Structure 1
Amino acid sequence: MQENHSTEGAPESHFNESLCANCQLNVYEPGYAINLCSDCRKSLIKYPIPKWIKFFALGILAVMVISLVRTQQYISAAVHLGKAENAIDQKHFITAQRELSLVLNKFPKDFNANAYMMVASAYNFDFEAYQIAFDKVADIKTEDEALLSTVNAASEYIAQSFPKDTLMYKRIVAVAKDKEKLLAMVDSTDEIVLKTHIANFLFETKDYDLVDGIVNKVLAVDPNFYQALSLKTAVKRNTAKYDEALALCDRLLAFNAEDIYVLSQKARIELKRKHDKDAAVFASKALALDPENDCAIEATAMVDYFAGRKKASLASLSKIKAHEAQSGDSTISKRLSPIILGSEIYR
């Protein structure tokens, strides 16, 4: 009697490594990582991927792409915001405003970007940009005392341009060409901005001592009043006190190192005393900051004119007039035209 069960007739099952790993019928194709015959390899390649896997993969891919794009946007905005903050610290407000515009193009409601835009646009006297930024943050509270202090100082700086007594301002404008009536109004208001407007209109009479006297009264109240200081630079320029005029310009540049009007004024002062190379440097700096700024174009036109480049100076005059056709303010072309057309002797 046998103790063990007989195995006779049972099927033998073992894996043949020399055959296809899938069907175990055909010889596999050499040269591949997985040993498959030609038929099995083709059928497996054609095996359809389930749709849910495709959609799932596409969903993951879309999330990854969106995340990468957003991350890149956040990084880019952070870089530009950092550059703007550094520019503000250096009082380079044109640069700061340009950098902040790039941030706000992507994140128009960002609080910090709008707050800093208020600062930069205030020192650039860009009233429209200031108002847009102000409207976006006016109702938002912040615990950043340093930023709030900076914004408040900038707001006070730009507010100096606006007279409180608008009726008195209209009366001044109405008699802008009447010297006697203007003089009678000087002591009729305590607002230094209105006194400066009167002095500005009197500047056209070329009575520079009179203008300087009014400006000095204004500066006695506020030594850093922008409009009075800028008018005084023109007085000093036209009375051949060039060093004093340039010193006043430097005082203004201490508020905004990229003040295009002041840089252009320095160019006009240097031209007046025939320092044409120095004038060209200041005009170039102003134009580089904003090629479309009329003050910068004016300074460039004058540099070109005195360098004998009359065609270029006339082209600049035409560009200014084209800008003025849109703005309605022809102040710059009226003072530039007589100089480069030869009817007024500038120096």
Structure 2
Amino acid sequence: MNIETIMKPHDRLAAYLAEDMERVGTLIRERMASEHAPRIPEVTAHLVEAGGKRLRPLLTLAAARMCGYDGPYHVHLAATVEFIHTATLLHDDVVDESQQRRGRPTANLLWDNQSSVLVGDYLFARSFQLMTEPGSMRVMRILSNAAATIAEGEVLQLTAAQNLATDESVYLQVIRGKTAALFSAATEVGGVIADADDAQVQALFDYGDALGIAFQIVDDLLDYQGETGTTGKNVGDDFRERKLTLPVIKAVAKADAEERTFWVRTIEKGRQEDGDLDHALGLMRKHGTLSATQADALSWAAKAKIAIDLLPQHDVKDMLLDLADYVVSRIS
């Protein structure tokens, strides 16, 4: 069997774009340096060097390559995307009081909340410096809008996460902000820097948007039916943290009066007792909300594949099609 056929799509993409990704890594290390505040590279390196798929910068490089770009600035844009993502992770871990990220202690645990927030701010500032270097106002508008949308999505989640009035449209707005906005910006700017035509740039945006939504729905579903060794977190963490994600939103929508009382106590009021997680899972199975959530994820992955079908044939295109399938294969 050919080794490429057993590699995961993001690994194949990373191997194909290895030279560009090496340049992205070099640029990230250069730009996360600080002459006057050594804590900045310490904190940043802890997260950046922890691994992770680097999926978002890969998407930028892939989009640019697929559209025939041969200049240097796709590397700057890929680094910009990764800086924005890393900044949001640092801030998220403070907000969520997280203790583990990618299997390692979080920066806020190793240092403190102040360091995590301020280094995150520094990375946001660095990302804005980087995005100006290609000299494209359109690129700057896309990436700065994405940064604002991400922040807006996180704030919306604060108010929506424990409110049983939150419906699927609000949930979609939240995950479009906190996850899909950076996916779609990553793919869109790759097309823009390559001077792709408007239809191709829109197709890249639509692919990133749908892929990001599918990615987040799958993450939320895995919280209830994943394995700790695979997901890196314990089953039911979202329930314990009272996060109103799609499987629960669907269950609440179908709840009778007794079931609704249970959701009010555990999610809105946060009075959780032993056995509540099992009861919650039982209600989700009763109403078929886990399978319905899986169907939604599959539908968004299919939309991503339809969107990218408009782009010219290329080895990268095949990998991006496989990536959409892989994102949802984690729940099969």
**Greater RCO (Cα-Cα under 8 Å, separation 6 or more):** 2
TM-score of the aligned structures, taking structure 1 as reference length: 0.29
**Structure of greater Rg:** 1
